Amino acid sequence: MQKLSEQEVIRRKALERLKELGINPYPAEEFVVTHTPEEAKRDYSPEEEQEEMSMAGRLMMKRVMGKASFAELKTPDGKMQLYISRDEICPEEDKTLYNEVFKRLLDIGDFIGVKGKLFTTKTGEITLRVSSLKLLSKSLRPLPIVKVDADGTVHDAFSDPELRYRQRYVDLIVNPDVSSIFVKRSKMISAVRRFFDDRGWMEVETPILQPIHGGAAARPFKTHHNTLDTDLYLRIANELYLKRLIVGGYKGVYEIGKMFRNEGMDRTHNPEFTLLEVYIAYKDYFWMMSMVESLLEEVAFKATGSTLVTFDGHDIDFKGPYRRLTMMDAIEQYSGVDVSGMNEEELRKVCKEFHIDVDNTMGTGKLIDEIFGEKVEPHLIQPTFITDYPIEMTPLAKKHRSKEGLVERFELFVAGKELANAYSELNDPIDQRARFEEQLRLAERGDEEAMALDNDFLRAMEYGMPPTSGLGIGMDRLAMLLTGQTSIQEVLFFPQMKPERKG
RNA sequence: GACUCGGUAGCUCAGCCGGUAGAGCAACGGCCUUUUAAGCCGUGGGUCCUGGGUUCGAAUCCCAGCCGGGUCACCA
């Protein structure tokens, strides 16, 4: 049994006293709510006769002034100030409900239901004059009370990140700004769904437990299925399954789902994260760029009410069209060096000049990517498409229609970070097999990122896959951009944490 | 993983040149029928993250560990 704090002991005693008084602290019957605070205030006019209304929520503040009190009720739809007068809720001789139940036994954090009519206080706040009051659920732990003064200054904020993430429920109760981040995130996700559903593309679900962790380069989480006696992996990507569905004949499929990567955690990486993947048949990556512009413009607007967001000190506009430039042009523009056509030796020289750390396992593609990451990425603040990547690092993209050594791939950068990644998908099964085999060679040389070969995926492709463009967008990063948060933990309800040590 | 900062009351923090712990809010008792960071008077509340060490004596100094934040590295 855990040791209770003084305040917890007091609340448990209050719970017992309530029971003695015949009050069930956790009643089963429905308390019918007739109004949200907003509805009530909107329809209120002081002259008109009112019907009695009822509301329910959490008691967040009590200001007792003898025989009358003000209280603050936090409902799921907004706040309402309550005015509670002893003789109005206790019209008879017995004043227990006010003197003992309300003043002593009800605590901040308790859920109550109230009935009454509105009036305007001296200071002009529309307030519910309570005629009756009912306990709906007793709270046994004290909430951290955050106070905001007349200037809007926050006092005693509940701000310890460890406590906030471990006890997100408390964070959500006392920090309305935190709660609204997740409302925006939810709107964002539903706007994405609506965008695709409106176009006739189908939301699908593909396996999370996979026998081969294909479609991306990352260390997986491993698990075991007892009945099948088989090792399985939590997916690091779903790309190869979605392409199988395109082979199966759907014109467009998308999935919004969790991916799992057993790697480092930091401000932009959580071991499980939400990825949007879209595959549309008969399209190429140019078409996909236009679609991304439409998508992000619409989603930003629906989630936040504007295409303009502020992130990390930058004003970012998601209104399309976005700047497009090839990777080689971008490098030349921001570093002054034209790396196109350079061999590995020349690229290493460039890296050395720029003081970029490289190692011997890196080929030309990786070296170019390093230069890009160092010299270009930080400058890409407004949404920018970078196109036409080296073939070595992109085993699932189609070879460029005209440029030797490149693939038809783009990434979208915003605020100096990658947000989306897309290809004209490789649909030549012979080429695909050759690319996988190249990855195997890299793996043999010690490249841990090399992609595993998936024979069933190749079999599917051999039956014929239509020309297709595919796209992935990190939903957590998009949520960060749309809510102005620079830490991924602030857009995940329950970010991964080490287990609490038992006290 | 490296470096760095932090962990003290329910919350936010002070105390850290060693001498058995403080403030504000919250809580408890009293007063108060239009308050809104309500106010006034009074009271209680602590595994000072954990474990070792130094010392007559450790929240404070030293060592190790745990948990978290930040930066970097790794990683898309």
Which element (helix H / strand E) includes A487?
A: none
Q: A444 pLDDT exceeds 80? A: no
**What mean pLDDT do residues A419-436 have?**
95
Q: Strand B within 7 Å of which CB atoms in A 289-348?
A: none
Indicate yes or no: strand B within 7 A of the C-beta of A31.
no
Give the nearest nucleotide to A496, CA to C1': B68
Nearest residue, CA→C1' of B24: A156
CA A447 to C1' B56 (Å) is: 62
* Residues 6 or more apart in contact with residue A160 via CB below 8 angstroms: none
Q: What is the pLDDT of residue A493?
A: 96
Q: Which CA distances in Å does A19 have to A12, A28, A313? A: 11, 15, 54
CA–C1' gap, A183 and B58, in angstroms: 49
CA distance A215 to A481: 26
Does A152 have pLDDT greater than 90?
no
- Average pLDDT in chain A: 93
Residue-wise pLDDT tens digits, A34-93: 999 999 999 998 888 889 999 999 999 999 999 999 999 999 999 999 999 999 999 999
CA of A158 to C1' of B69 (A): 15
Round to whole Å and give the CA distance between A348 and A333: 19
pLDDT at position A503 over 70: no
User: How many angstroms separate the CA of A163 from the C1' of B40?
Assistant: 35
Question: Is A155 (CB) below 7 Å from strand B?
Answer: yes
Give mean pLDDT, residues A5-33. Answer: 96
DSSP string, A120-179: E-TT--EEEEEEEEEEEE---SPPPPPEE-TT--EES----HHHHHHTHHHHHHH-HHHH
A503 touches strand B (CB under 7 A): yes
Confidence bin at A502 (pLDDT 50/70/90): very low
Q: How far apart are the first and last CA of chain A?
A: 11
Are A184 and A211 in contact by the 8 Å Cβ rule? The answer is: no
Name the pairing type of β-strands A308-311 and A272-281: unpaired
Q: What percent of chain A has pLDDT over 90?
A: 79
Q: Is the CB of A132 under 7 A from strand B?
A: no
Residue A448 has pLDDT above 80, yes or no: no
Is residue A160 a contact partner of residue A31, using CB atoms and an 8 Å limit?
Answer: no
Q: Residue A124 CB closer than 7 angstroms to strand B? A: yes
Give A144-153 contacts, CB < 8 A, sequence gap 24+. Answer: A144/A170, A144/A174, A145/A60, A145/A61, A145/A108, A145/A174, A146/A174, A146/A175
Q: Is the CB of A264 under 7 A from strand B?
A: yes
- Return positions of chain B under 7 A from a protein CB: 1, 6, 9-13, 24-29, 31-39, 44-47, 66-76
Spell out where A391-447 has E strands: 406-414, 417-424
Cβ-contact A486, A267 below 8 angstroms = yes
- The reply to whether A123 has its C-beta less than 7 Å from any atom of strand B is yes
Comparison of pLDDT for A154 and A423, the residue scoring more: A423
> In the block, which residue shows the tokens 């926050």?
A154
Residues 92-111 of A with CB under 7 A from strand B: 104, 107-108
Say if residues A82 and A108 touch (Cβ distance below 8 Å): no
> A359: Cβ under 7 Å from strand B?
no
Helix (H) or strand (E) holding A430: helix A429-444
Q: Please tell me the predicted confidence (pLDDT) of residue A48.
A: 84
The answer to whether A12 CB is within 7 Å of strand B is no
* A200 class by beta-carbon count within 10 Å (0-12 exposed, 13-18 middle, 19+ buried): exposed
> What value does the mean pLDDT take over residues A373-393?
92
Across the range A348-375, mean pLDDT stands at: 86
Q: Which nucleotide is nearest to A81 (CA to C1')?
A: B36
What is the number of alpha carbons within 13 Å of residue A283 lying toward its C-beta? 21
- Tens-place pLDDT, residues A173-229: 999 999 999 999 999 999 999 999 999 999 999 999 999 988 888 889 999 999 999
pTM, entire model: 0.93
Alpha-carbon gap, residue A121 to A128, rounded angstroms: 10
pLDDT at A1: 43
- Residue A57 host element (H or E): strand A53-65
ipTM score assigned to the predicted complex: 0.92
Does nucleic acid strand B have an atom less than 7 angstroms from the CB of A467? no
Tell me, in Å, how far CA of A136 is from C1' of B44? 29
Q: Per-residue pLDDT averaged across A352-371, rounded?
A: 84
Q: Which range, A315-319, A436-440, A451-455, is most confident?
A: A315-319
Tokens 């019907």 belong to: A51
**pLDDT in the model for residue A465:** 98
Mutual orientation of helices A239-247 and A455-462 as an angle, nearest 10°?
30
Q: Are A17 and A60 in contact (CB under 8 A)?
A: no
**Does at least one atom of strand B sit less than 7 Å from the CB of A70?**
yes
pLDDT above 50: residue A153: yes
